[in-house]
Amino acid sequence: MDSLRSMLSVAAVSCVIPVLSASAITGKPLPHRLPAVVPAIALTALRDSNETNDFRRFEGALAVAKSLADLMPLGAERNALRRAILVYEDVDAVWSFAVRDRYGAYFNDDSLPGLHDRLTADYPGYDDFIADYRVADRKGNVLYPTAETRTFLLKQIAP
Amino acid sequence: MKKLAVAIALMLFAIVGYSAERATTPEITPPANGEEFLRLSSTEKLFWSIGYSQGYLDALNKIDVAAGPNSACASLAARTERQSSTAGKMSGFELVSGLEKFYADPANTLIPVGSAIRIYMLQAAGKDQATIQELIETARALGAESSRRPMAGK
């Protein structure tokens, strides 16, 4: 299983992602019938970049996955990829804030407006999960940790 | 027989109470390097960083008492060590965020926390990139060496 995942990962890095990226840059359309393995490779690249904590690779893989979803014909496979992308977009929102902001370990409504409320509405169990980790500063502002939020979101995609 | 039963019941209650207390008592092991720091939850990181800053400042203030107010030791503390103290310069939130970013690079995970804080503070103060990179390389080498040595206290 591990060797299969690593093979998929290598294939993603060395073949599929550069081809898709080049296509995105040159504007040359991809064939409408994509091999069934391609979405799986894109998802593997997203998962692996999270496991290795590689933010730049994650952003690249997310862009590729989005353009892939746009090209796929309507159907269950596309829906599954779209659902995963929606979660990964939330991961991206939290992770990019953590990477770029000086106080990125925690967020609240001032730093990421509306995010906590949206996550609470979209993901059942998030509010209870994050309640154990929230802290309040000396002014009484409640803050939520980005690391645990990211962990929670990634668990929503885990097979 | 009755007394024995009461004694056993009391003992069982005491054991249950003790284990319940142990289960709810938070235990934070101070991290030595990035590997250990990243294993902590965000709350643990925050509590630890506040304690670290406060402890560092307290230790600096005690140098006056231990070494004498005008001693070489006290002036060294005032001149160099106080500069690397986080207390009063950055909040616990910023320290946790800075260390998370610093240790996000897998090559930095073995760097001791004290060195990582100094480097992050210099970075935040706008020190030139060449000096920072040189410090990081040295800290990586020291971290790798200390991880090969068996720890005395462990």
Q: Is the pLDDT of residue A107 over 90?
A: yes
**Does residue B106 sit at the A interface (CB-CB below 8 Å)?**
yes
Counting DSSP H helices and E strands in chain B, the numbers are 7, 0
What pLDDT is attached to residue B36? 93
pTM for this predicted structure: 0.75
Task: Report the C-alpha gap between A91 and A9 in whole angstroms.
Answer: 20
Token pair recorded at residue A113: 């407006």
CB contact under 8 A, B46 and A101: no
Q: How far is CA A92 from CA B13, B50, B144, B153, in A?
A: 49, 28, 32, 41
Q: Enter the DSSP assignment of B48.
A: H
**Does residue B64 sit at the A interface (CB-CB below 8 Å)?**
no
Q: Which of A51, A100, A102, A130 to mutate to test the interface with B (most CBs of B within 10 A)?
A: A102
Q: How confident is the model at residue A129 (pLDDT cuts 50, 70, 90)?
A: very high
Number of CB pairs, chain A paired with chain B, less than 8 A apart: 48
Q: Predicted ipTM?
A: 0.73
A95 exposed, middle or buried (CB, 10 Å; 0-12, 13-18, 19+)?
Answer: buried
What pLDDT is attached to residue A23? 52
A50 within 8 A of A58, measured Cβ to Cβ: yes
B111 within 8 A of B34, measured Cβ to Cβ: yes
CB contact under 8 A, A135 and B100: no
* Residue type present at position B72: A
Task: Report the C-alpha gap between B145 and B48 in whole angstroms.
Answer: 25
How confident is the prediction for chain A on average, in pLDDT? 84
What pLDDT is attached to residue A100? 93
In this prediction, residues A126-137 reach a mean pLDDT of: 94
Token pair recorded at residue A142: 């409640």
Worst-scoring range by mean pLDDT, A14-23, A84-93, A117-126? A14-23
Task: Report the C-alpha gap between B144 and A139 in whole angstroms.
Answer: 41
The list of chain B residues with pLDDT below 50 reads 152-154
Q: Which residues touch A107 (CB under 8 Å, ≥6 apart)?
A: A94, A97, A115, A116, A143, A144, A146, A149
pLDDT digits (tens, 9 = 90+) for A12-66: 555 555 555 555 555 555 556 677 788 889 899 999 999 888 999 999 999 999 9
CB contact under 8 A, A99 and B97: no
What pLDDT is attached to residue B22? 57
* Residue type present at position A121: A
CB contact under 8 A, A147 and B100: yes
Token pair recorded at residue B135: 């410090």
User: For chain A, which residues make up each domain, given as ranges?
Assistant: 2-157
B31 within 8 A of B99, measured Cβ to Cβ: no
Chain A interface with B: residues with Cβ < 8 Å? 52-53, 55, 98-99, 101-106, 133, 135, 137, 143, 145-148
What pLDDT is attached to residue B153? 45
Token pair 């506040």 is found at: B50
Of all residues in chain B, the percent with pLDDT exceeding 70 is: 85
- Name the residue with higher pLDDT: B82 or A69: A69
Residues of A in contact with B48 (CB under 8 A): none
Task: Report the C-alpha gap between A122 and A90 in whole angstroms.
Answer: 10
**Nearest chain B CA: its distance from A52 CA (Å):** 8
- Name the residue with higher pLDDT: B72 or A158: B72
In this prediction, residues A144-154 reach a mean pLDDT of: 96
What pLDDT is attached to residue A19? 52
- Name the residue with higher pLDDT: A36 or A93: A93
Residues of A in contact with B41 (CB under 8 A): 133, 145, 147-148
In this prediction, residues A140-157 reach a mean pLDDT of: 94
B48 within 8 A of B85, measured Cβ to Cβ: no
Token pair recorded at residue A126: 């998030």
